[in-house]
Amino acid sequence: MLLVEFLLDPRDQNQMEALRTLMRGDLNALKVLEELALRALAGNHDAATDAGAIVDRHAGGLGRDAAFVGADDYERNSQRFAFKIPIFVDHESISGRERDHILILDQTGGQYQINKADKAKGTGTFDIPFLGEMSKHNTQRTAQVMTYRDAAGNVTEPEAVFVMQEGFLREGAGRARSMAEEADDIASLLGAKGNGRNPKSSLPVEALFPKDSLMEDVGAHNSQGNDAPQEKGYHRGVSAFTLVFGRKAVAAIAAAPVDVIVKAFANALGYAGRELFARILPSAAMDVSGRLRYDESAALKAMGYSGWYDEGAQSAMGELRSLAERAAAVVRDLMRVRNAVTAEKRGAELLKVMAGDGDSGLAYEDILKVLVQLVDPADVAGEFFVRVDTGIKGEKD
């Protein structure tokens, strides 16, 4: 499509009359604009001149210059899965990939290349007539990478955005806390370089949702005498966590040393995984084939096994191999970002990593836990928003 944007003043009667006249005009102009968009995106430089003539004509009629003139070549591919049992459950999941090529046709020139990936899931239960679904839980993950090429052909390094959104209706109080915990699992690793957590970027999860505030003692109201605490039910909640990686941050991700990437991968694992992986880190190294090599006998001893036939030894080593293979896959994915020959291609490769289309298969928040460790926190902007309506009398929202 081709977009010509005019910003008009609704209090200006002359502009409003001009707008009414334009809206009653020749709709063949739409066909001309479409042809111009196709020509412009195909690299025809005369198209910008022809578009300028049309813009000038409308600007004269409206009495205002155009605020923006651009052509957009947009493409989306998506996959959808839906499952429904009437009344009881309604589930839908959608994942997609988008590409936007925006060509600016005013005097500034230039073009934007935007690649985006997203994944959304929604589940509703107990759909009661006239009342709707009694319980809902929706999540959305979005990754976006953008580059800009100016009129002279100079290209900026990529910038990236990650957004994690979640909402619920009539679910347990633990769901509210988990929204903050999932965001903190990423934020608290900002700039860690594989070394623990960063308290300066951690979120105040305990202040927002103290663990002891999520449960209620229902024993006094339970006719069966069961005094076991039960989780409170909250009415609704919504959260949004956004991270914006500046050009320096993306460059740092692409240039990260292999040993730091491996340490960051290990640091992003759960407690058991970190402890297991820590056994091989001192002696591990990447070989020329892109595999993480380590001394298995030494790893066995480090984990407290005297030999392969000890109970649990083979299972532990199998888990260790799996983690090592995934760590090596993350390194290979980031090497593709580093070795891309243009900024646009680096952006496209980074999006593949963020969306889980690389060798590692880690996607969205799982790979972000690694990527955020590789940057300088000063090169990243972040925001976390949460609102929860408890629906409980006397309890603060």
Residue 194: per-residue pLDDT = 92
pLDDT 10s digits, 136-191: 999 999 999 999 998 888 999 999 999 999 999 999 999 999 999 999 999 999 99
Please tell me what DSSP assigns to residue 289.
T
Positive or negative, the CA dihedral 291, 295, 301, 306 is positive
- Position 33 scores a pLDDT of 66
Residue 312 φ/ψ region, left for φ over 0, alpha for ψ in the -120 to 50 degree band, beta for the rest? left
Token pair recorded at residue 156: 């900026």
pLDDT at 387: 97
pLDDT of residue 310: 80
> According to the model, what pLDDT value does residue 221 have?
52
Give me the residues of the chain with pLDDT under 70, please: 25-34, 36-37, 41, 43, 45, 47-49, 217-227
95: left (phi over 0), alpha (psi -120 to 50) or beta: beta
Instruction: Give 98's strand partners.
Output: 76, 116
Euclidean distance between the first and the last CA atom of the chain, given in angstroms as a whole number? 45
pTM: 0.84
Asked if 203 and 383 count as a contact pair (C-beta separation under 8 A), the reply is no
* Contact by Cβ (8 Å): 328, 291: yes
List, for residues 23-36, the tens digit of each pLDDT value.
776 555 666 666 76
| CA–CA dist 247, 156 (Å, integer) | 8
Label each residue of 258-270 as H, E or C.
HHHHHHHHHHCCC
pLDDT at 225: 57
The three-point CA angle 165-196-211 to 5° equals 55
Longest dimension (CA), the chain: 89
Residue 311 has a pLDDT of 79
Nearest-angstrom CA–CA distance, 348 and 330: 16
The region that residue 364 occupies, defined by phi over 0 for left and psi between -120 and 50 for alpha, beta otherwise, is left
Contact present, 380 and 243 (Cβ < 8 Å): yes
Taking alpha carbons only, the member of 7, 110, 1, 13 closest to residue 59 is: 7
Contact between residue 169 and residue 176 where contact means Cβ atoms under 8 Å apart: no
Residue at 158: amino acid letter: P
- Separation of alpha carbons 374 and 396, rounded Å: 38
| Distant-in-sequence, close-in-space partners of 249: CB < 8 Å, separation ≥ 6 | 160, 375, 376, 379, 380
